[in-house]
Amino acid sequence: MNVISPLAELEAQQFPLVQSCVFPKTITTSDDVHKASAEAERRIDTHLLACSKREDVYRVVKAFAARGEWVNAEAKNYTQALMRDFERNGLNLTLTKREEMQRVRIQIDELSLQYIQNLTEDSTFLLFAETELAGLPPEFLKSLDKVTDGKFKVTLKSHHVGAVLELCEVGTTRRMVAVAYGKRCGEVNLSILEDLVQLRHKFARLLGYSSYADCAVDLRMAKTPSKVFEFLEDISNSLTDSATMELSMLKDLKRKEEGDHPFGIEDLLYYVKKAEAQQFNVDFGALKQYFPVNLVLSGVFKIVQDLFGLRFEEMTDAEVWHSDVCVYSVFDLSSSELLGHFYLDMYKREGKYNHTCVVALQNGALSSNGSRQIPVVLMIAQLQKDVSGHPALLRFSEVVDLFHEFGHVVQHICNRASFARFSGLGFDQDFVEVPALVLENWCYESFTLKLISGFHQDITKPIKDEMCKAIKRWRCSFSALKMRQEILYSLFDQIIHSAENVDIVELFKHLHPRVCQC
């Protein structure tokens, strides 16, 4: 009661205060507020880092842990988590090693920031004539800058690269873009990555691990890199026959369209899309007309409420940061107990964070006096608003994103952990995405699709049964090739962080072709 419980209550109380300073940068339209929020986060992080090095607190927690007098399993887990955090900051090491750890950590942070900054600031572009961009829609071409000779500038930003690799009919264009994208910031970032890997190994060895992979995986379910390698290889081997068959189909398509040119990684997206169009007859452009924003949103609310026994009740008098924001109280349907609050900020606006995500504003927790602090969560989306009486329409991928993020909302609101640390969204990295991924499944069921869809000019007409079945079949198309690609990237990550002095370029050359050779 005088060691662990006060630390737990401090965590529960300070988290929403910290978030009230940090989250404004994701939703504000003001540069001043964004800068102030970012600066607040920097100062808070500095303070929390100092707290993590409090040797006096560590010694007291360690002494309590040594006695083994646990109130319950959750309290034991919390105490062990405190110990682990302190010791991962080197408090069980000598002062010399601790200071060395700090120097290495600063170097890692600086290099990581530089790596990302180099990619963010990269302004490389390629020039193409209109004929070289055949297959790309007119609205995309209109969005591109032109140079004096009429050629279009294609940058190496993901939205340009993705469009070209998926839609461009000219194989040489796709290849040029894919190669340039793969090589962006090449020499400078390759050097940074090599230094980063060595520093991560050094950091891990100071903590007593043989490699950085050992250090990272020790906190996960797998526990050892060897288990990860075994897992990845088992899945990869089981996919070989399916991936070979899928790749053969794509190669045949390319041969018919482009002749006997070799099939490369740059061809995957384009020919997968073409094969899916032939096999499943799913026109995602036309499908969009069946997903008006408000209809989809009301359908998602109904499904979530029915599945989990919840009631969402809008709070009309809540204080919000923008008129678009809605706030809901969430109740248990059977007992009417208030479980938490949910902020929904779903429409695009200038300056707002540009991705769909869920942010915890307050974690649930049980106080020492028996009262419960309820969870509060924010969902940010980037949906279009209705314009001039025309309903805003969602792409199917945006519908899936909504279901996914609602999974995180439910996970946060319904968590009944006693400690704020365990009720947060990101504590257990092995589990954090599971509820969201499970909820995505409902996007592929006919009953759900009919509930959330309706033709935008007559919402009483949902999508037809044949389309529902086609969407469900489409979901699994070319899944072996897609998963094999992810596995190879995972293997690359595990290998460079499991051994010293790996030649990163040669390793990538060895692994990358396996996607297209199976």
CB 282 within 8 A of CB 477: no
CB 480 within 8 A of CB 516: no
Burial call 215-229: b when 16+ CB within 10 Å, e when fewer = bbbbeeeeeebeebb
Element spanning 308, H or E: helix 293-308
How far apart, in whole angstroms, are the C-alpha atoms of residue 440 and residue 458? 26
CA-based end-to-end distance of the chain = 59
Sign of CA dihedral 426, 431, 435, 437: positive
Count of C-beta atoms within a 10 Å radius of residue 324: 16
Residues 6+ apart with CB under 8 A from 461: 454, 455
Catalytic residue among 405, 433, 440, 506: 405
CA-wise closest residue to 82 among 429, 422, 353, 507: 422
For 207, phi then psi, to 5°, come to -85, 0
CA-wise closest residue to 47 among 18, 81, 6, 73: 18
**Token match 């069980």: residue?**
92
Residues 6+ apart with CB under 8 A from 6: none
446: tokens are: 């006919």
Secondary structure (3-state) at 314: strand
CA-wise closest residue to 188 among 125, 106, 121, 127: 121
Amino acid at 151: K
Helices (H), 89-128: 95-121
How far apart, in whole angstroms, are the C-alpha atoms of residue 11 and residue 364? 11
For 128, phi then psi, to 5°, come to -135, 145
CB 365 within 8 A of CB 423: yes
**Token match 């460079």: residue?**
496
Angle subtended at Cα 119 by Cα 113 and Cα 125, rounded to the nearest 5 degrees: 165
Q: Which residues pair with residue 127 across a beta bridge?
A: 153
Q: Is residue 405 annotated as part of the catalytic site, yes or no?
A: yes
How far apart, in whole angstroms, are the C-alpha atoms of residue 431 and residue 48? 25
User: What are the CA-CA distances from residue 303 to residues 240, 307, 345, 424, 441 (Å)?
Assistant: 37, 6, 20, 24, 12
Catalytic amino acids?
Answer: 405
